[in-house]
Amino acid sequence: MRITKHEGKEYIYDIIRKKDIILTPEEWVRQQLIHYLIDKKNYPPSLFSIEKQIKIGTLKKRYDIVIYKKDTPWLIIECKAETETLNPNTIQQILAYNSQLKASFLALSNGKEIKVYDVIQKKWDNFFPDYIPKV
């Protein structure tokens, strides 16, 4: 990962958005996950959507990462800083996103811990699902 400094601030290059992003603790976790999913799990970079706005009721929210399969949200990932715990509030946040997106998998990570919920099988795991393209 490429980290640069400009006017006293650190930036990290986002390979999906193709630009430097201010390096916050949450951004560090997001970038680690992006690289892991692409490099180790072979998720196609072209199917990532990062920090896009969605409307939930009357509120406008921004999700962290959504991975698509055939133009359909497949996996939503909510990133937290390493110092934050994954708690019921985090789960409520990703459930709200999924009320609009209808993904098959929901994931929470603070960089140290990963929780992945399989919506169809209604079970939790500690690892990301394999990406198998639909034919």
Q: Which domains are assigned to the chain?
A: 26-125 (3.90.1570.30)
Per-residue confidence (pLDDT) for residue 132, from 0 to 100 = 80
Whole-number pLDDT of residue 131? 87
Query: What pLDDT is stored for residue 27 in this prediction?
Result: 97
28's CB contacts (< 8 A; 6+ apart) are 12, 81, 82, 111
Would you state the structure tokens that stand for residue 111, as one six-digit string? 């960089």
Q: Is the dihedral of CA 96, 97, 100, 102 positive or negative?
A: negative
Low-confidence ranges of the chain (pLDDT < 50): none
Q: Which two tokens stand for residue 125?
A: 């795991």
pLDDT of residue 1: 86
**Strand residues in 57-103 grouped as ranges (E):** 59-62, 65-69, 72-79
Query: Residue 130 CA to chain centroid, in angstroms?
Result: 15
